[in-house]
Amino acid sequence: MRIKLFVGGFLAVSGNELVERGMPLCDEQSAWFGQKFGTITDGDGAYDDSFKCRWKVDGVTAAGRKNLCIRFSRFDIEDSRTCTKTVVSLSYGNSDPQDFCQSLGSDRDRHKMMRMSTQRTFNPGNPRKARNGENFLTWTCLDTHSLTLQMASHPGANSAGNYQGFEMLWATESTTLFTDLQTDINEYGGEISFFDAKRNKRTRKHFAKLMTKLNRTLKQGRVTCTMAMQNAPEFLLDDWNTTKATNTAAALTSFLTSYTEVLHVGCYKRFDKITDKVLSRFTNRLR
């Protein structure tokens, strides 16, 4: 089934036709010059009812093609079962565009608590459980080196300015398995030597317990909210290599914060508890 969107006057177009009809290219980001991480967003505030934009991300580098991983850190658009108010369309690989047409995650909960709008539950247009089971609120790798993201709003959309649009983070994928990174982290933790012998031994023991807890796969409701990556993102791998070279308690604390965010930031209802009750208990011991 093809979802339709009115983008101006009485013309109705679908997600893939937006590209064919020349949606303006608002930003194009490339990994060619070593960029390993970036942000695509429709802006810093509420979008208007004539918003039309297209963004492209290219993971081709001088050393070859690198697959992309993404996550939406904000997804706040009007609910519409048939995508007749606002639509965000994601295209990658050879698959048909996926059209998303409702607020999600913490943004959705915020609207419910403030009773700013009617929040419906329906399956189409929902990036939390998209066609192939991806959870785009957490880090998800796409098995493709390029993607196109589009957003368009219908006249009259977001009239009260309650919706803030989207923000999508992207990163290039390394060739290092995430499980190999985890093994390296565990081995490093087993050799921690920041303090005296007695304290080092105790710290190594606490570190092993921490990693066991952090590396669990978590669910939020019926949806798996822990990241879905076979290979580690390059930015996290770079961060880890710097941490090992620096070899200080402060550097390890900083890395573990980034590592926990990559793993579980999609678990937005549980994330603060993970950082406050699990991670902080260990990092406080490093001071």
DSSP string of 20-75, one letter each residue? HTT--EEEEEESTTS--EEEEES-SS---TT-EEEEEEE-EETTEE--EEEEEEEE
Of the three residues 149, 173, 197, the one that is the final residue of a domain is: 173
191 or 4: which leads in pLDDT: 191
Average predicted confidence (pLDDT) for the chain: 85
Residue 9 has pLDDT above 90, yes or no: no
Is 28's pLDDT higher than 60?
Answer: yes
121 pLDDT above the threshold of 50: no
Is a pLDDT exceeding 50 seen at residue 66? yes
- The whole domain housing 190 covers 175-286
How distant, in Å, are the alpha carbons of 9, 76, 114, 156 from that of 160?
Answer: 21, 14, 14, 10
d(CA 164, CA 159): 12
Q: Are 185 and 277 in a shared domain?
A: yes
* pLDDT tens by residue, 160-173: 898 999 999 999 99
Does 33 lie in the same domain as 117?
yes
pTM, to two decimals:
0.85
Task: Select from 173, 206, 228 the last residue of a domain.
Answer: 173
Q: What is the pLDDT of residue 116?
A: 52
Judge if 110 and 234 occupy the same domain.
no
CA distance 200 to 241: 21
118 and 197 share one domain: no
Residue 145 has phi, psi (to 5 degrees) of -100, 0
Domain stops at, among 150, 173, 196 = 173
What is the domain count for the chain?
2
